[in-house]
Amino acid sequence: MSQSTPNAALSGGTRIALVGACVNVFLALSKVVAGLVGNSYALIADGVESTLDIFGSLVVWAGLRYAAIPPDETHPYGHGKAETLASIAVGALLLGTAILLAIQSVREILTPHHAPAPFTLLVLLLVIVVKETLFRTVLAQSDALGSAALHSDAWHHRADAITSAAAFVGISVALIGGPGYESADDYGALLACCIIAFNGIRILGPAINEAMDMAPPPEIEHSVRESAVLADGVLGLEKCKVRKMGIEFYVDIHVLVDGELSVREGHAIAHAVKDAIRERMPAIADVLVHIEPL
């Protein structure tokens, strides 16, 4: 895998985030208009959530574009943390949206109103299908890249599909139940708020851990150690630290060698260790090798 692969991968991620934003524009307008005409607050709330999805997808898009900028004098480790910050922003956006929509849902429950129009169910069915398709597409891309921002964007799409499903159930109950069941639509919106909040917390936790340089999964360090010990001249390993920067990783490793070797020979071993690790794991951007005498 070439060294340009991470940037090429990030470019693919930015494209899919931009596509998601464009789809959200269409869906948000459709839901808000249908909600206003069809007298459904659950659909209006869903439309507001989709409007915020537009902002969320644009935040992810901007974060991935900025993360793709190569290292420079002021950011020697690159700009990968922008991807993490974008994920935190999307998680916070989900939580804020859930709180605001929940408050308005309670107000609608306490305010008498007419039942929604039947055609709103068709709009919601279309939204559920489109959003679930987007969720699966973006999630597959996020898994391929190891991108926290794309992962959060994918679950943002899933949250929208779930809110639409909740609205569908609420409107169905209101229509089937008849007089006295008009508020079922609003209870559906309230249930959707709980689901949105859950997804927000689910996204925020890993993103904050990544921003604080939490160690990646143990199998990554295990692979680094396996690669390093195979290099010629390596007699053992001590410390090994790995941290994630966007979709890339940085490694600090202490290698044990023969204490009688010259500086030049130790330097050559260090380069061999670095090359062995990066050849096996292209996602590792750099390896800092500290030579220790055995």
Let me know if 178 is exposed, middle or buried by CB neighbors in 10 A (0-12, 13-18, 19+).
Answer: exposed
Per-residue confidence band for 4, with pLDDT thresholds at 50, 70 and 90: very low
What value does the mean pLDDT take over residues 9-32? 76
Give the residue with greater pLDDT, 217 vs 163: 217
* Structure confidence at residue 253 as a pLDDT band (50, 70, 90): very high
pLDDT of residue 260: 92
Look at residues 168, 138, 139 and name the one whose alpha carbon lies nearest to residue 21. 138
The larger pLDDT score, comparing residue 51 to residue 272, is at 272
Q: Is 93 or 237 the better-scoring residue by pLDDT?
A: 237
Q: How far apart are CA 147 and CA 145, in angstroms?
A: 5
Range scoring the smallest mean pLDDT among 6-15, 35-44, 115-124, 134-143:
6-15
Distance between CA 175 and CA 138 in Å, rounded? 34
Handedness of CA 24, 26, 29, 33 (dihedral sign): negative
Burial 41-74 (b: 16+ CB within 10 A, else e): bbbbbbbbbbbbbbebbbbbbbbbbbbbeeeeee
Q: Are 154 and 139 in contact (CB under 8 A)?
A: yes
223 pLDDT higher than 50: yes
> Do the beta carbons of residue 240 and residue 275 sit within 8 Å?
no
pTM of the model: 0.69
Res 98 pLDDT > 90: no
**Domain covering 5-211: architecture:** Up-down Bundle (1.20)
User: Under 8 Å CB-to-CB from 255, ≥6 apart: which residues?
Assistant: 228, 234, 236, 237, 238, 269, 270, 273, 289, 290, 291, 292
Please give the span between the terminal C-alpha atoms of the chain, in angstroms, as a whole number.
Answer: 34
The pLDDT assigned to 6 comes to 55
Of the pLDDT bands very low, low, confident and very high (cuts 50, 70, 90), residue 10 is: low
Tell me the average pLDDT across 263-286: 93
CATH number assigned to the domain covering 218-293: 3.30.70.1350
What pLDDT score was predicted for residue 3? 41
Q: What is the mean pLDDT of the chain?
A: 83
- 103-139 pLDDT, tens per residue? 877 887 887 666 778 888 888 898 889 889 988 888 8
User: How far apart are the C-alpha atoms of 256 and 254, rounded to whole Å?
Assistant: 7
pLDDT above 90 for 267? yes
Higher per-residue pLDDT: 243 or 42: 243
Residue ranges per structural domain of the chain: 5-211, 218-293
pLDDT band at 181 (very low <50, low <70, confident <90, very high): confident
Helix/strand/coil for 237: strand
pLDDT score of 12: 62
The one-letter amino acid code at 227 reads S
288 has pLDDT over 90: yes
Q: What is the pLDDT of residue 1?
A: 39
pLDDT at site 113: 65
Whether 5 has a pLDDT exceeding 70, the answer reads no
